Amino acid sequence: MALKLHELEHGLLLDSGGERLMFFAKLDTMVADEAALKAVFDIKGSSGTLPCALCSNVVSKTSMLEGCDTTGSLVSVHETSLEKFCARSDNTIWQGCKLLESRCGQMTKKAFDQLEQSLGINHNPEGVLFQQSLPLASTLMYDWLHIYLVTGLVQLELGLLFPLLYSHGVTVQSLKDWMSSFAWPHSLKPHRNETLRLFDKKIASGDFKCSASQGLNMYPLLRLFLLSLATRGIPGALATAISSCLNLFIVLDLLLKGNRGEQVPPDDLEAAILKHCRGFIDAYGTEAIVPKFHYSLHLPGFARKKPLISCFTHERKHRQIKQLANEIHNPGDWFEKSVFRDVWGEVILQMQ
């Protein structure tokens, strides 16, 4: 029988080289990218009508439900008034699971699918929510690395900003020359060329791509470039877009400061994130908003309870796992064990 996570709170007897020890543990935080959280908890995720697992009243842009809601409680994913969000608790989520269990087989498939959609939960009797082995509301943490730097808000914002810069006289060559004019720290010199290659050609609207490390290496230099433009006379639309991008970089500054173990007041982080989100809407409108903007609004709340955790290490290491897993084309119930064994083998070989 599989051990449920919450049972570790009562202790697990371990045999370590003939010495018996009682091991106690409590799962505090489940941090991952949104797709992984969706898979672990088996929820509808960012593509669902309820794109946020932590809010019961935030609906997707495409649903347009907030416009026909007679109660006035539903809000769109682009909402930035934090007091309008209705937080879910572990109990309300488990109640939703019980409702699905009680209605399963008692409704038409279409009606049951709509019930799942309205709850944002998939019916999975063997899943962690239905087994109550992994509480969602009290453990889930959105990963700020993925929110901002892995097909995130940095890539989105710059994909919209660069075409605006081009249309106002900034050339590909002038931008490349600026980025190339700086002496890089010795520790970052190996990454200089790969980062500068991002600016080799004109970037199409919405088509800026970079890795998380490239984004971190590039944004301090880009900030200086944008500040140099701000000293000239620039039109209002471009000024608003530049202001939004500079606000984004301030958020990154704070998150990186916290990642280094320095104190970042959650209220300061909240103010910076709100300023960026609202500035982005001013620059590009609500149509450009994606669910990661809403996820970013949860970060200060997490920070008030516990230190923010990011997936920097996970992101570096998971490539090795994917290389092994992607070669298995007929997975069965042995899949996880097989991948786990191969990964451990690679780790042990690297330690020799």
Residue tagged 């590909």 (tokens):
172
What do you get for the CA distance between the two ends of the chain, in Å?
A: 35
pLDDT digit string (tens) for 207-233? 999 999 999 999 999 999 999 987 677
Q: Model confidence at 149, in pLDDT bands (50, 70, 90)? A: very high
Q: Tokens in use for 291?
A: 């669910």
- Taking only Cα atoms into account, the Rg of the chain, rounded to an integer number of angstroms, comes to 23
Residue-wise pLDDT tens digits, 99-111: 999 999 999 999 9
Mean of the per-residue pLDDT values for the chain?
90
pLDDT tens sequence across 153-198: 999 999 999 999 999 999 999 999 998 999 888 888 888 898 999 9
Q: What is the pLDDT of residues 60-72, one digit of tens each?
A: 988 878 777 778 8
Count the residues in the chain.
352
Domain boundaries, the chain: 41-140, 145-305, 312-351
What are the start-end ranges of the H helices in 168-235?
172-180, 192-196, 212-230
Distance CA 289, CA 220 (A): 24
- Residue 111 contacts by C-beta under 8 Å, 6 or more apart in sequence? none
Q: How many contiguous H segments (helices) and E segments (strands) does the chain have?
A: 13, 6
Contact 166, 202 (CB under 8 A): yes
Contacts 24+ apart (CB under 8 A), 265-271: 266/300, 266/301, 266/303, 266/304, 267/300, 269/299, 269/300, 269/303, 270/82, 270/300
Beta strands 12-16 and 19-23, pairing class: antiparallel
pLDDT at 2 over 70: no
